Structure 1
Amino acid sequence: MGSAEWWLKRLYDELGKRREYAEVMRGYYSGDHPLSRLTDKAKEGFQRLLRQSRSNYVGLVVDATAERIQVDGVRIGGSEVGDEEAWRIWQANNLDADADLIMTEAVKCSRSFMLVAPNPADPETPFVTGEDMSQSIVAYLPGSRRERAAGLKAWEDDWTGDLMATVYLPGGIYKFRAPKPKSSVQASPKWEPREVQGEAWPAPNLLGVVPLVEIPNRPDLLGNAMSEIEDVLDIQDRINKTLIDRMMAQEFAAFRQRWMTGYEVPTDDNGQPIEPFKAAVDRLWVIEDDNVQIGEFQATDIGPYLRAVEADVRDMAARTRTPSQYLLGAMVNISGDALKAAESGLVSKVKQRQRPFGEAIEEVVRLYLRAAGDDRDLSAIEVIWHNPEFRTEGELVDALMKMSSLGVPHEALWERWGASQTEIAMWRDQRAQAADRLMAGDVAALYGPKPPETEAEDGGETSG
């Protein structure tokens, strides 16, 4: 117990269970919902209608949440602005773009991961990567939800087809390889140590802690996490069922079916009935027998199906706190205050999700700064989140002017404006340069260049 091989088997088995969960959530998110069950005889004829009946509302729920979770910087200690060195390493690893993928994955599948590793070519810029929950897993010490005991990343090599695994322990990093099992019922993979040329086995863990960090969505006190759409999949299935019923009605009962009585249907030489009339806009039906009666059935009203779908969508909107106009696309004559009130639930939810995300990202920043040799006190780290609330430019400027009158520092105002940490650093430098020039007697630094004086102002004549 506690060896690399023990952790490999334990975590790999648990990872297999999580993969099944992730595949279900990914399928729903991408619109690949399970089709309604049909008999084998009916399946071929109705397969097209089944595919067309799926309408992906849960994907909108995920996107509406994830698109508002954006990291703008990292603040260390009591600093008013983001830390330049932490943000430099963040950007050097393309995390200003990949963070969106990491957050979306967590919202969609319940969790994602980030991995920190030293960079031998540039020790001051460690590697930081986002990892998928179907390939990564972390185990915690008993009784703890934060102190990591071990981590595993397992994947299938695209070139060789072999299974690869890396076990992360505080005392070392162990790499394994195994042939891919030929069937799903085959026994567990037969793992063997995977030695890398020029690298010891096990490789030393220079950080001294498990460098794989979990980013959980909707965590509980037992350490479990939940996808944003897990508890509304039944509603999505109900919507799809209503849509397939509507498609069936449109296909077979959305036209007026005619009937006729008292008419002797003619037959051909083989005794097969011949269609008596051909319907077209340029044809006329003529029946000379007074006993013949013709009528038509009413077409199926698809209005109840549409109203049922709208009711289910509203249930989903209420459960996920997603504004109904996002899902229904209906927004007519809505005032700014009403729109803000409609989005208040989504904004509150996003802020709630940011808290566990922020704790995980703070640990990642702490790890990569330590790997870069930063010896500062990193106990107090705070993630700077982009404001999830949408405001008009006029509303935002008015609010910032009022805050400025209360003495709020410019850096804080720039941050609330939505400026990136790079822009804030540039503006701060420009302000400091202007102050230095002013102290040196350069009045133009404050008031701008003096306009050139005309001859009239100097007492000279002007031309007519």
Structure 2
Amino acid sequence: MNDELTKPEEALRMRLFIKLQSQKRADRENARYYRGLQQVGNLGISVPPDVQAFAFPLNWCRTYVDVLGERQEVRMILRAGETAEDSELRRDWEANDLDAEQHLFNRDLAVYGRAVLSVASNPVADGRPIIRVESPCDIAVEIDPVTRATSGALRIYRTETGQAEHMTFYLPDRTIFYTKQHGRWTPQTVSKHNLGRVPIVMAIARRMSGSWSGESMLTDLKPLVNMAGRVMLQLQLAMETVATPQKVALGVNRDDFIDENGNPLDPWDTYLGAVWALQNKDAKVIQLDAASLSGFHDTIKALAEQASTLTGLPVRMMGQSSANPPAEGAIRADEARLVKQVERLNSTTGAAWAWALGIAERLRTREWSADGKIQVHFHDPATPTVAQRSDAIQKLNGGRAVLSQRGSMIELGYTQQRIDQELAWIAQEGGEFGLERDLT
């Protein structure tokens, strides 16, 4: 077992270990914001400490991340220059349940600013390579700024109590598995893959030129969420105090505060009593007007509008809906920034999926034939309207053949299996549509 590391490799492992520790704090904070578990602070002036336990945030962070992820759906996997989906790449995709796993990848990218894929050979005979979404909180990746290739990666496996027990060190030619014994990391097994590259693929959100570290999509939103949380906390306090009409009783004495059995009551506990009976005919009970809560509502609305400006989410998605639903054209115009954000995220995630599928093919065929030749296509991230898309296809096919039947089905978002079945049915039915006008 060749588990000896060269001095540069040992230095790389130490840098990755330090990087893994340094990113923990930011990752934990971003995860708490996504889950709506962050601490809602206050100045301690108007809010008593006892009320702090009732604080809760308006979870705009989860809304933002989930809306982005809901519009990131892989449609087809093609090779460069081809128009039909590649069956082998699709089998790799389906063998790893990546239709479901892609949602984890998209969420990690938005929450943490980076997402990671690992590729490994399958120990099962004739099994497809394993493509797995790794937690970016437990893995550190280093990119060579000169070659732009991954120099190495370090993956830590923790128990439910958070203790690190296993570690995997990924290198371009081999992968080394460690176990912690008596406080020291001891190599256990070595897998020589001889890929010539690290079987780890990382996608980065909001990357700046010259930097290989990502930024969470929640960075700009968090201060607004903090302020909205404080407003909601103060709103709760106002609802229990000044927003409830106050009563002033004049000309009463302690004998007026008794229950139906004649037992004395605490005057301060009778505020919510259904019936008040006073002995003194000149006694008066005056109700004071409650304070208006419209100021809190207006503040929340203003914060929602600012959050909409930062994120590109339509303000109706921030809980500020109008009485009348917007028209179709208005919806598409309202979502223009959101759609462009998703398209840019798709270009990042699509490149990562393409590289991962290329490594998987290398493990399966032992040939490098897919570099830069795999394209991942996504569904249109705009709000889909069946009538609009069908009308567009019909107009494109009117007068002259602009699209083949297969192309029309692709535009409608059909899967490859659905397309094949439809073409088979068309051929069976015969008639003027019996022959497919395929331009591929």
Match of 1:453 in 2: none
Q: 1:422 aligns with which of 409, 417, 421?
A: 417
8 Å contact from structure 1 (residues 266, 276) kept in 2: no
Give the counterpart letter for 1:133 in structure 2: P
| Aligned residues of 2:128 and 2:364 also touching (Cα < 8 A) | yes
CA–CA distance in structure 1, aligned partners of residues 49 and 130 of structure 2: 51
> CA offsets, 1:14-68, max 9 Å, x none?
11222222211111111112132587xx877324422xx3221111011111110
> Structure 1 residue 255 and structure 2 residue 244: aligned?
yes
- For residue 17 of structure 1, what is the aligned residue in structure 2? 22
Distance 2:270 2:382 in 1: 61
Task: Return closer, same or farther for 1:2/1:385 CA change in 2, 3 Å cut-off.
Answer: farther
The worse-fitting range, judged by mean Cα deviation, of 341-350 and 160-169 is 160-169
Task: Check 1:340–1:254 CA distance in 2 against 1; reply closer, same or farther (3 A cut).
Answer: same
Q: Give 2:191's aligned residue.
A: 203
* 1:321 alignment counterpart: 312
Which string of whole-angstrom CA distances, capped at 9 and with x for unpartnered residues, describes residues 344-376 of structure 1?
221111111111112211111111111110564
Alpha carbons of 1:29 and 1:124: their partners in 2 closer, same or farther (altered >3 Å)?
Answer: same
Choose from 152, 155, 161 the match for 2:154.
Answer: 152
Amino acid at match of 2:185: W
Specify which of 329, 332, 337 is matched with residue 337 of structure 1: 329
Distance 1:135 1:425 in 2: 42
| Max Rg structure | 1
Same amino acid, percent of matched pairs = 20
| Separation of aligned partners in 2, 1:236 and 1:407 | 49
- Aligned-residue Cα RMSD (Å) equals 3.1
How far does residue 120 in structure 1 lie from its aligned partner after superposition? 3.5
Q: Any gaps of 5 or more consecutive residues in structure 2?
A: 1-5, 258-263, 435-440
Letter in 2 for 1:240: G
Secondary structure of the residue aligned to 2:203 is strand
**Per-residue CA shift, 1:209-253, capped at 9, x if unaligned?**
100100222222212212211111000001001111111101122
Counterpart residue type for residue 153 of structure 1: R
Distance 2:173 2:193 in 1: 6
Please give the secondary structure, in 1, of the residue aligned with 2:234. helix
Structure 1 stretch displaced more, 248-257 or 236-245: 248-257
Equivalent residues, number: 415
Residue 33 (structure 1) aligned to one of 31, 35, 38: 38
Deviation at 1:421, TM superposition (A): 3.0
Deviations 1:368-398 (A, max 9, x none): 1111105645432211111111232111111
Partner Cα distance (1:79, 1:273) in 2: 85
CA distance in 2, matches of 1:422, 1:225: 37
Among 209, 227, 244, the alignment partner of 2:216 is 227
User: For residue 402 of structure 2, what is the aligned residue in structure 1?
Assistant: 407
CA–CA distance in 2 between the matches of 1:88 and 1:276? 72
CA distance in 1, matches of 2:249, 2:159: 68
1:218 paired residue number: 206
Match of 2:373?
A: 380
Equivalent-residue separation in structure 2 for 1:120 and 1:266 (angstroms)? 86
- Alignment partners' CA distance in 2, 1:293 and 1:317: 51
Q: CA 1:170–1:32 in 2, change beyond 3 Å: closer, same or farther?
A: same
Q: What's 2:438 paired with? A: none
Match of 1:63 among 63, 66, 71: 66
CA spacing shift, 1:118–1:20, aligned 2, 3 Å: same
1:263-342 equivalent positions in 2, closer than 5 A: 275=267, 278=270, 280-289=273-282, 295-328=286-319, 330-331=321-322, 332-342=324-334
TM-score w.r.t. length of structure 1: 0.81
CA distance in 1, matches of 2:27, 2:393: 43
Structure 1 portions without partners, runs of 5+: 181-188, 197-201, 438-443, 450-464
- In the alignment, which residue of structure 1 is the partner of 2:430? 445
- Displacement of 1:260 in angstroms is 4.6
